Structure 1
């Protein structure tokens, strides 16, 4: 049975709109059905000083994949589209970033995957696109709606 998952796309290198179109094609072919997409949000870099704005877009998908299988597909799509993850952890410019923000009301705590995204509640750049699509979904840990979380960080 398909489950609803909220993803966030982000990029500041190349042509993010073209990249996002490619991501959507690959997701639809491998991961499930895209149910809705947010409007595009241009935002300042978060966690580092970057020269360019980031484009962010949320996607609501329906998938039959298990969480780790979806994560593997998302990481493969990132690699195919030029994402290089360095050995050093940190924030930097990127051609594509795809985050699993929410899995409806499900909580996932695995070594390789945490859902809801551990920093979702701190990030207006993720919450604003999320609020476009699922403003009344509740964060499974805090119980706050996406819209309430967005209000708290603005």
Structure 2
């Protein structure tokens, strides 16, 4: 199973963040030859690091490669970057952890563990982020990461709160 995190907090070519996230899911399926298995609900989350910006919308989705897909983590990363660009992300001017029309993060690709200059799996900061782990728990409550840690155990290590669709950390 492939798990992706989707986030946005400003409008882009597809429209407001909620529309952009929905458009991204469709484009990932079309461009990547993947099948969408499950998607969490969309959460509103307060910005971290750069706090003077709009709140984010965040979601996690699980995909399976299609029958004809010869997908590798690296080729999927290319697809994700292409979708981000199509939907308005411009990495040349953005501020790290700042506003963006779309952010797609590859969290897990089956049980693959990679650490290259271009890609690290599992995602190196996912265990620090309630806005990733809460929606991941929604769609995969019993998931155990390649490190042997469960999503539930990782969440137990964080200070956060969830009320309705709002995550604070």
- TM-score surpassing 0.5? yes
Aligned residue for 2:137, secondary structure, equals: helix
Does residue 47 in structure 1 map to residue 49 in structure 2? yes
CA deviation after TM superposition for structure 1 residue 147, in Å: 1.5
1:10 is aligned to 7
Compare 80-89 and 58-67 and name the one that shifted more: 80-89
Q: Which residue of 1 aligns with 2:20?
A: 19
Listed as ranges, the gaps of 5+ residues in structure 1 are none
Q: Quote the Cα distance in structure 1 between the aligned partners of 2:94 and 2:104.
A: 19
Give the Å deviation of 1:111. 2.0
Q: In structure 1, the residue corresponding to 2:20 is in which secondary structure?
A: helix
Scaled by the length of structure 2, the TM-score of the pair is 0.83
Supply the distance in 2 between the matched residues of 1:109 and 1:18 (Cα, whole angstroms).
33
After TM superposition, the structure 1 stretch with the greater mean CA deviation from structure 2, 24-33 or 70-79, is: 24-33
Equivalent residue number for residue 134 of structure 2: 128
* TM-score (normalizing by structure 1): 0.91
Aligned partners of 1:54, 1:135: CA distance in 2, in Å?
23
Q: Is the 8 A contact 2:53 2:98 kept in 1?
A: no
Map 1:1-154 to 2 at 5 A. 4-14=1-11, 15-31=16-32, 32-63=34-65, 64=69, 65-86=71-92, 90-141=96-147, 143-154=148-159
For the 8 Å contact 2:108–2:121, the answer to whether it is kept is yes
Alignment size in residue pairs: 150
In the alignment, the residues of structure 1 paired with residue 141 and residue 110 of structure 2 have an alpha-carbon distance, to the nearest angstrom, of: 12
CA contact (8 A) 1:50 1:93 kept: no
